Structure 1
């Protein structure tokens, strides 16, 4: 069974944040079955559950449930692996966060990101998945705090989101959250997310460099391809992309193409944190964004390229994904 993993770059950021909070990670790594020396190897990966146990132990030792927010103080591009440099060379935060979503799995496989326009601006949505252990709340809070701090660092501006969405009950002490986010907080939200003003996302980045962005895209793309080849999710996604223009792909056809039974396909996808239906939906959602960015494609053509026999099903799915119609989305971009 394949384990979800986290890059050593991101793990090092977490360790620095915890050590800043008074936790001696060097001494607790061995008890958690983790090798502290691997933090120096940029290609090393740590098991997702090992990182979850690290968060849990850090909260116990520090007595600080908000310790994840320290991630906002350790901002450096390398924490995002090659992706951090691709973000910096983007023309705007909007373009940068779209890159972050595309290459997210290089940083950590336990997180799923999406970035979408909303009626008022843009939203970065985060979902954290555990492997065998349920994910730590601190992991999600750290990811949001870091993403926002990185946006502020790149722009040199105190970007204040419209709203910070946090799952779970409000903590006993809300002050650390107010200090880090400096924006309205909404606890007990349906998901983790940052709601941004449109102007903040669309203003030019001082570090923008189109030729460097292209270079980093190539590095990140090659890294992701090497990293993904062994994953059934990646292989099944490729088959789905190929079959979609002929209509909605059936699970049995995808399984046959991959030379496995339907049951094996479903089990392997489950081990990697998804299902066939979820993968089909996610693939369509990603492709819809790419197709709508091409002005020469009509909405009807986009609908058929995504394997929808009836365009009204495409419109319904699109509204579910983005809370916008395809025409409204196209007008935005």
Structure 2
């Protein structure tokens, strides 16, 4: 299908040149015509994987290929979807943006989970019968860590890394990730320390985000046929603790006027106020299951400066206090 085709970003070939690898050598080794470089046409997932494997072979193996590319690749070569993550508010915002915009790249997707003191990012192939080569899995996970390092300006270390495939130089990978690396695992996963997600990005650029986000969101929405209410809820979820909960701010991110946004939400049978309430309710339940957060923190994370206002809202949603709801949840699901 057309949606399965992948267009190589021009920056990839520039990155190979910076490493001393001629792009035409990679294309030839992959058994593909040179037009993939000169014309940048869309390729199939199988061809996409062949190019990555060819690069791995030319770079001296997966580990070397992974480390070389993510460290040498210049930020200016990032495509717009990645540039938007680099200029995010903080590491958490960047990772959520990356998880969202990865949907624009057919062969892979990212599943991000925050639990306890950890944040785990699982790499999944959209075609399970055709998993990507080790170098692609490794580069994807390494780039997520590199993103945090460049954005924060701090030498962030992962908590653990798992690869489903064997890797040729685990020691080199452990030195790069700053943590144990396990091979032959059930899935490809990067686990971070959750506290690192709160680190602000020194590369934060609000003006650039306001230009890029509406364009990227429209592209993604067209590709996934995502509804406006779902998009609004996604924006609200990543904005709860940092303000920006008014309809004007959200409409601006979508490249719409607040009246147009409200009209489109009305057409979908909902309203901005209702979506904000839904997001606060859903996030409150999720945060209350986390033993590391006290109720005052939960109130702040879902956008309430006044703890009493949060208590009243939660009682309205659940017919119970946050503390009692949490106790009953833990009794049914004891924290590990």
Shorter-chain TM-score bucket reads: 0.5 to 0.7
2:122 to 118, 122, 125: 125
Q: Supply the distance in 2 between the matched residues of 1:138 and 1:119 (Cα, whole angstroms).
A: 30
Q: Where in structure 2 are the equivalents of 1:217-232 lying within 5 Å?
A: 217-226=213-222, 228=223
Q: Supply the distance in 2 between the matched residues of 1:65 and 1:162 (Cα, whole angstroms).
A: 21
Tell me what 1:38 maps to.
39
Deviations 1:61-83 (A, max 9, x none): 45423223322123434554222
Tell me what 1:90 maps to.
88
Query: Could you say if the C-alpha distance between residues 63 and 102 of structure 1 is closer, same or farther in structure 2, counting changes exceeding 3 Å?
Result: closer
Tell me what 1:168 maps to.
165
* Superposition CA RMSD, Å: 3.8
The answer to whether the 8 Å contact 1:22/1:62 transfers is no
Aligned-pair CA distance for 1:145: 1.5
The answer to whether the 8 Å contact 1:164/1:183 transfers is yes
Q: Where in structure 2 are the equivalents of 1:206-225 lying within 5 Å?
A: 206-225=202-221
The answer to whether the 8 Å contact 2:120/2:191 transfers is yes
Tell me what 2:11 maps to.
12
Q: Supply the distance in 2 between the matched residues of 1:22 and 1:299 (Cα, whole angstroms).
A: 62
Deviations 1:225-278 (A, max 9, x none): 34x0xxxxx34x65997xxxxxxxxxxxxxxxxxxxxxxxxxxxxxxxxxxxxx
TM superposition score normalised by structure 1: 0.62
The answer to whether the 8 Å contact 2:170/2:181 transfers is no
The answer to whether the 8 Å contact 1:91/1:205 transfers is yes
Aligned-pair CA distance for 1:113: 0.7
Query: Could you say if the C-alpha distance between residues 96 and 140 of structure 1 is closer, same or farther in structure 2, counting changes exceeding 3 Å?
Result: same
- Aligned to 1:113, the other structure's residue is in SS state strand
The answer to whether the 8 Å contact 1:68/1:142 transfers is yes
User: Mind listing any 5+ residue stretches in structure 2 that lack a counterpart?
Assistant: 231-277, 285-301, 304-309, 319-328
- Aligned to 1:35, the other structure's residue is in SS state helix
Tell me what 2:68 maps to.
70
Tell me what 1:58 maps to.
55
Q: Where in structure 2 are the equivalents of 1:1-333 lying within 5 Å?
A: 1-2=1-2, 4-9=4-9, 12-13=11-12, 15-19=13-17, 23-29=21-27, 31-33=31-33, 34-39=35-40, 45-66=42-63, 67-77=65-75, 79-106=77-104, 108-130=105-127, 133-169=130-166, 171-226=167-222, 228=223, 234-235=224-225, 238=227, 291-292=282-283
TM superposition score normalised by structure 2: 0.61
Query: Could you say if the C-alpha distance between residues 76 and 206 of structure 1 is closer, same or farther in structure 2, counting changes exceeding 3 Å?
Result: same
Q: Supply the distance in 1 between the matched residues of 2:138 and 2:109 (Cα, whole angstroms).
A: 14
Aligned-pair CA distance for 1:102: 1.3
- Aligned to 2:2, the other structure's residue is in SS state coil
The answer to whether the 8 Å contact 1:18/1:68 transfers is no
